[in-house]
Amino acid sequence: MAGQLDGRRIIVTGGAQGIGAAVVAGYVAEGARVAALDRQFGTAGTTPDNIVRRHCDVADRAGVTTVFDEVVGLLGGLDVLVNVAGVERGGPSDDIPDADWDAVFDVNAKGTRNTNAAAFTHLKANGGAIINFGSRSGIVGVPQQAAYSASKAAVHVWTRAVAQEWAPYNITVNAVAPAMWTGMYDDYRGRLNAEELAQHDAMMSAQIPIGGKLGEPTRDLVPLLVFLAGDGAHFISGQSFPVDGGWLHMR
């Protein structure tokens, strides 16, 4: 049976674990050829099961360009970029270390620029889709996560800006704001003491209408990403899509 993305050539950053790995698997299952990029992969990489794996630091602009050129050649072209790669740092907003501020902006904001620009080079002749990863934090702001919130706000505004700029090239640019249970979320929970964790879980239960907790990437997020990478989303651009059980209401 044909998949929804048969023949699509897709790059997924942050593809080694968590949401990124789920997206890679979901795309391959729908018939796409996928290049999974991540800092965790070895420099050489392998190509099993229709997946090209390569080392890539999205904060390194020259490195991104080099890797994109290589994997686009291996895929035989490019139709879709999904930029999942991201990092999170938390703590009191009045004392954010420069290293933490720089880390989240280098990967989340600069990495979005680097990967999107590299993809544009390969998409502008025939069109395609770019899907960025924003966050609820970048829309409403979250206490103790000011640097992360600011970096993800940059992702959402960048997405809206380049969606307009690149529309004449038949390139759609959208963002998702997922509320998924990942290793990054486990790290956040690990910084909370027992009382804070209990309060956090009670808050999540009260505020997320569907299920009262974060979603599962393969079940709850991948189906939207498959749609946004396919033909059915050709007239949708410049949007931010919350995938969070009804937690955030966009206006």
| 3 inside domain | no
Clarify whether residues 76 and 195 are in a common domain: no
pLDDT for the residue numbered 50: 73
pLDDT band at 247 (very low <50, low <70, confident <90, very high): confident
Per the prediction, the chain carries an average pLDDT of 92
Clarify whether residues 133 and 35 are in a common domain: yes
- Which of 46-60, 98-112, 147-161 comes out lowest in average pLDDT? 46-60
Clarify whether residues 201 and 153 are in a common domain: no
pLDDT for the residue numbered 142: 83
Clarify whether residues 83 and 201 are in a common domain: no
Q: Which of 27, 148, 169, 185 is flagged as catalytic?
A: 148
Clarify whether residues 126 and 224 are in a common domain: yes
Q: What is the CATH number of the domain that holds 119?
A: 3.40.50.720
Clarify whether residues 191 and 87 are in a common domain: no
pLDDT for the residue numbered 149: 93
pLDDT tens figures, 28-41: 999 999 999 999 99
pLDDT tens figures, 169-199: 999 999 999 999 888 788 878 988 999 999 9
| 159 inside domain | yes
Residue 169 falls in the annotated catalytic set: no
CB under 8 Å to 223, separation ≥6 — which residues? 26
Q: Is the pLDDT at 45 greater than 80, yes or no? A: no
Clarify whether residues 98 and 74 are in a common domain: yes
Q: What is the mean pLDDT of residues 5-13?
A: 97
What distance separates the 2 farthest-apart alpha carbons in the chain? 56
Clarify whether residues 68 and 116 are in a common domain: yes
| 251 inside domain | no
pLDDT for the residue numbered 11: 98
Clarify whether residues 114 and 227 are in a common domain: yes
Clarify whether residues 114 and 25 are in a common domain: yes
pLDDT band at 218 (very low <50, low <70, confident <90, very high): very high
Strand 80-83 with 51-55, pairing: unpaired
Write out the chain in H/E/C secondary structure: CCCCCCCCEEEEECCCCHHHHHHHHHHHHCCCEEEEEECCCCCCCCCCCCEEEEECCCCCHHHHHHHHHHHHHHHCCCCEEEECCCCCCCCCHHHCCHHHHHHHHHHHHHHHHHHHHHHHHHHCCCCEEEEEECCCHHHHCCCCCHHHHHHHHHHHHHHHHHHHHCHHHCEEEEEEEECECCHHHHHHHHCCCHHHHHHHHHHHHHHCCCCCCCECHHHHHHHHHHHHCCHHHCCCCCCEEEECCCCCCCC
| 1 inside domain | no
CB under 8 Å to 23, separation ≥6 — which residues? 12, 15, 82, 84, 217, 221, 222, 225
pLDDT for the residue numbered 2: 67
What's the number of domains the chain is made of? 2
Q: Domain span at residue 41?
A: 9-180+220-237
